[in-house]
Chains A and B, each alone.
Chain A
Amino acid sequence: MFEFTRTKSIGVEKREDGIFLIHGFLDDNVYTIELDMEVKTPEFTIVSARGNMKRYTTPECPKAPSILDDAVGIQIGGADFETKIKKLVGRGGCRHLADLFIECCNAVFPAAIQTQWKIARSNGMGKDDFIKGLVSNEPKIRDRCMTYSKDSELVKRLGVSW
């Protein structure tokens, strides 16, 4: 029997004005949390964030989402982004809300990539050419992991260097 289960579900849609809307939902044995955010691209700046603690453990927990107002204006990404959010939203509010918040933030970049890929594919571009363009033009991808490191098989095969 499961002692603990947690499900997190994130959905991202792109509005016509370039703002990404992110909906996050966390449900586990202890907590149910909902989160709605707006992120402006290409800056990846948080424009708004609203949360709702639906199931929790103490009478203080429902107050936690009010801390999200302080996250408005923060730019997603960078080496210390998660640490910053864990401190601000986690310690100042709720660490499970912070967990969902980080998950929502991390979904924006792949959503932006997906938007580009959809356009590229409809224009007849193949996956290799798309990845090549991505690695060549997007510093966030380079050396992000072993697949996209400069010595990887993929990067060598595509003939990209930096």
Chain B
Amino acid sequence: MVQSFVDNRILNYTRNIHAGAENLDNGNTMARVRVDDTFLSAELEIEVNIPDLKIVSIQGRIIRSFAEECKNNAEILKRAIGMRVGSGITRLVKETIGGTNGCNVFADMILEGCNAVIMGFTVDELEKQLAAETDEAFGQVLKDMLENNPRVASCIAFTEGNDLRKRLGV
């Protein structure tokens, strides 16, 4: 007879990703990425030069993998040195680091690290914006953001004619 006590099942696949970015004493930014899933465990460090945002050093390793051969893939990371964290990086990394002649795990981890670097720049700005204590001040912050940001149609907040824009008269 089928048990009916609980409807829970054991997870048959789990994946945890952690990415962080920190400023170094030399003025550069270091991104660290860690991936652990049912099949593999990998870590990556990327140092990005500020202000030109070029990758100046990168190292990583696959610690655990389903196919032992994956552990030999770290050499390809050198291909990322000199890449600029900016427009076009996704395609460049996927084509250069990932794909048939590369490693998609490392490609995804590099992009995760690049995202952490970029998000690191936005946190300070967002903290200032979200610190506004009155509706008027917060409204002004949002208005400035919508008016001065070129990312029209990049997400629901920047969609032309949305409720927020109408409310703020943008």
Contacts and interface: CB of A to CB of B under 8 A. Distances in A.
Interface of A: 1-15, 28-30, 57-61, 63-64, 67, 90-95, 99, 103, 107, 110-111, 113-115, 118, 127, 131, 143-149, 152-154
B156 A3 contact: no
Contacts of B12: 12-14, 111, 114-115, 118
Given A118-B12, A144-B100, A147-B73, A93 B156 contact: yes
B102 A146 contact: yes
Nearest to B163: A60
Contacts, number: 153
B76 A7 contact: no
A38 to B, nearest CB: 14
Contacts of B104: 144-145
B14 A10 contact: yes
B144 interface: no
A111 B10 CA distance: 12
Given A8-B16, A9-B15, A145-B100, A114 B38 contact: yes
Given A30-B119, A30-B123, A4 B20 contact: yes
A150 B98 CA distance: 16
The B interface, classified by DSSP as helix, strand, loop or mixed, is: mixed
A13 B156 contact: no
B10 A107 contact: no
B164 A59 contact: yes
Nearest to A131: B67
- What band does the interface of chain B fall in when counting residues whose beta carbon is under 8 Å from A? 35 or more
B5 interface: no
Contacts of A64: 155-156
Interface stretch (B21-29, B53-61, B81-89): B21-29
Given A29-B123, A110-B39, A146-B100, A7 B156 contact: no
Contacts of B100: 143-146, 149
- A interface secondary structure, majority: mixed
A158 to B, nearest CB: 10
Contacts of A2: 20-22
A84 to B, nearest CB: 14
Contacts of B37: 107, 110
Contact of B155 (A8, A94, A146): A94
A3 B16 contact: no
B6 interface: no
A6 B13 contact: no
Interface in B116-141: 116-117, 119-120, 122-124, 126, 129-130
